Structure 1
Amino acid sequence: MHPAPGPYRPPTPGPFRPPAAPPTVEPAAAEATVDGAGSGHPAVDAVIQALANSADLPPRDQIAEYEAAHSTLQETLATIDQG
């Protein structure tokens, strides 16, 4: 028989880790995206490649990459809207 479960305790958060730096845009890397077809915007292509590269990272590190990608895409969209 299993012991009765105790009261629910939410997991304790780990130490704060700032998000990873946004990916740098290299001209050659911007053209070489996951499926070989670029989006037409170097920053977006770099984000797509960075996300593909993060697939083998531990989940905690993937989250940091997703946050950095989100930030980069927001900044990119803001500059497009201003133009």
Structure 2
Amino acid sequence: MTFPKPGPTPGGFRPGPPPGGFRPGPPTGGPAPQAPAVSVPAAVDEATGRIVEETGHPAVDEVLRSLANAARLAPAEQIAEYEAAHQVLQETLAGIDR
């Protein structure tokens, strides 16, 4: 059995540059634009719509605090925080089934 090769078909359509030949130039000087500060709500109570600051589960509460703190980090550093939070939440959920 043969499988098709991934990717576009040979001779297929490839979009070109936009009409008018516009190419973005170098920055015009001045301060670089800053990303707006983001407030990450911990969780939202579906019944009331209010933000829940604590769930009552210590591991989950700690993850929520770490995610709120991660919003203040540089994007590259946020990845590690999100991965760690994901790991803890997976382990917590797996422990519920036991």
Alpha-carbon shift at residue 37 of structure 1 (Å):
3.2
Q: Does 1:41 align with 2:57?
A: yes
Give the aligned partner of residue 76 of structure 2. Answer: 60
Find the structure with the greater CA-based Rg.
2
Q: Does 1:73 align with 2:89?
A: yes
With normalisation by structure 2, the TM-score equals 0.47
With normalisation by structure 1, the TM-score equals 0.55
Structure with bigger RCO (C-alpha 8 Å, 6+ apart): 1
The residue identity in structure 1 corresponding to 2:53 is A
| Matched pairs, number | 53
Stretches of structure 1 that go unaligned for 5 or more consecutive residues are 4-33
Stretches of structure 2 that go unaligned for 5 or more consecutive residues are 1-20, 24-41, 43-50
For residues 72 and 79 of structure 2, what CA distance do their matches in structure 1 show?
12
